[in-house]
Amino acid sequence: MVRDPRTVDVVAVAHPRGCRSYLVIDPISREACVVDPLLDHLRETLDALADNRATVRWVVETHAHGDHLSGAAALHARTGAEVVAHPAADSEVATHRAADGDTLPLGQHELLVHHAPGITRDAIVLEAPGALFTGDTLLIGTVGLRDAPGSDPHAWYETLDRVFGERDEATILHPGHDDMGRDMTTIKAERRGNRWLREDDRDAFLALYRADERTPRPDAEQVLSANRQGLTKLPSDVESASGFAPPTETVEQRSGPKRMDDPANAAAPSGFAGLLVLCGVLCALGTVLGWWWRPELHALSLLSALIMLGAGVSQLEGRRRGRRAKGPDFYYTGPSKFTQPDS
């Protein structure tokens, strides 16, 4: 088994739609840095800090986010931690600017900042001993979506070579997104499976950049503006404008009770609907098998089974339609043709 090169503790906070945030914790002092916090997962972040007996000192934004709402302002308000961004970042939230080569003390360790222009002008990669927190500069098998101003393919090509080119192949990479449930990879794996990283010809890289047909969220400008100013909880007008389903927990408190006349919420819980379907199937099966003994009673049982079966199927179908009706949200939206490595 390959030895883990990291000498810090790393805890991932993963959004089911692909966003990734990380707690980087010094194992002795329990000082922590939170990388790219997610606004609607702030409760999970605070709980993870508490569970690990950690005190947050730094909150690092690796770049301007156009695909999700940042929890940096809310985490600063809750903990007083410094919010770190590159000097080029258009941010009213940042309290500490860190340029290329700057360090952030963290207990017995230091976190090294690498300016990583390419996906945006303000992008950074954060280095901890044995690990790199790559934001959207480099993902697993791909790179991030260009949803913020300042994307530059020439700078991106140079960044990938400068920041990752001479690294030990055992170095752990923690990406800002992954749509397959992962929160780490290695330099070795990406050199083999990520065409963006292994491309050593500038012209071929530029052609790859031009061929990337992924498009930003339609509300990316709105998200960028909200993150620039900083939010401490998800406002109702942003929810309405985006079609974003309310998070399970806002920063301040849980949202109000769901309206049952909303088609997205009208269906019964999926477990109950599934139980109806299961009961209906079992009743129908038992009725057919027992028909020869008491047909008059089993006819009534069969009717009940069909009613339950129909109700369960209807509930599941309504739930499926409700999910479809929710519309777009703020999160990275699944794989593209660039996600999988070449065969």
Residues 194 and 288 in one domain: no
pLDDT of residue 326: 38
Residues 195 and 274 in one domain: no
Residues in a beta bridge with 35: 22, 60
11-35 pLDDT, tens digit per residue, is: 999 998 899 999 999 999 999 999 9
- Residues above pLDDT 90, as percent of the chain: 63
Task: For residue 243, tell me if it sits in a domain.
Answer: no
Residues 121 and 180 in one domain: yes
Residues 288 and 200 in one domain: no
Region 200-222: what's the mean pLDDT?
A: 94
Residues 212 and 289 in one domain: no
pLDDT of residue 22: 98
Residues 278 and 214 in one domain: no
Residues 23 and 101 in one domain: yes
Range with lowest mean pLDDT among 3-7, 47-51, 76-80, 217-221: 217-221
Number of domains in the chain: 2
Inter-residue long-range contacts of 274-278, CB under 8 Å, 24+ positions, other chains counted: 274/312, 274/316, 275/312, 276/308, 276/309, 276/311, 276/312, 276/315, 277/308, 277/309, 277/312, 277/313, 277/316, 278/312
- pLDDT band at residue 279 using 50, 70 and 90 as cut-offs: low
pTM of the predicted model over 0.85: no
Task: For residue 288, tell me if it sits in a domain.
Answer: yes
Residues 139 and 15 in one domain: yes
Q: Contact at 8 Å (CB) between 326 and 264?
A: yes
Residues 291 and 182 in one domain: no
How wide is the angle at C-alpha 8 spanned by C-alphas 172 and 97, nearest 5°?
Answer: 85
Task: For residue 179, tell me if it sits in a domain.
Answer: yes
For residue 177, the enclosing domain spans: 9-220
Q: Is the pLDDT of residue 275 over 80?
A: no
